[in-house]
Amino acid sequence: MSDTTSIPNWLAVPALTGLVGYFLAGRNDEARDERASERERVAREVIRDERHEDERHYFQRDTLLELQDVLQREVRAAARVIQHDQTTLKSQRSFAPIPAELNDESYDIGVAVNRLRVRLLSDELRAAVSDFHGFVASVGTAAVLLRTVAPDEVSTRLEAYMDELSDRYTALNDLLGANLRRELAR
């Protein structure tokens, strides 16, 4: 007689099938876990992207709202500069420097406009703000440029500056409003 025990064939096949089944079940569980992990990762990316998109829109909306306020202040300061030039021209028949506080205010507003301009996503709006700001800056230096012109013509030109300032501001504010409505409609 032999010391080795032999397993009958009818018993070996189910044992082997069980081991193979156990191995395949483990692989299926691992694959299922990997798929679930991938779905979770994709879901987190989607949420992160949506959050980033929302933050971008909130930032742009806030920039547009702040720009709207700053442009209103800029047009009012420019109008005060023109009025100052008109008043001093009438009373003194020459130009006088604008008061320091108006000069400082105009400078600070210009810095704020430029800061907000570079944050704009719309190329068209950014260019329009730049053009408007350039025009406002030219209004501030009009007194220097008009020193060689007759006083009556200077008064006419200052009135034309005031009209153009109003027209340009209205057009820019309309474009800004369209961009703002687009952000709010999102």
The domain limits of the chain are 59-185
What's the pLDDT score for residue 86?
A: 86
The model carries a pTM of 0.74
pLDDT of residue 11: 53
- DSSP labels, 112-147: HHHHHHTT-S-HHHHHHHHHHHHHHHHHHTHHHHTT
Q: What was the pLDDT predicted at 18?
A: 67
Contact between residue 86 and residue 155 where contact means Cβ atoms under 8 Å apart? yes
Torsion of CA 119, 122, 124, 130, to 10 degrees: 0
Provide the CATH topology of domain 59-185.
Answer: Four Helix Bundle (Hemerythrin (Met), subunit A) (1.20.120)
Residue with tokens 């703002």: 180
Check residue 25 and give its pLDDT: 74
Which residues in the chain show pLDDT less than 50?
Answer: 1
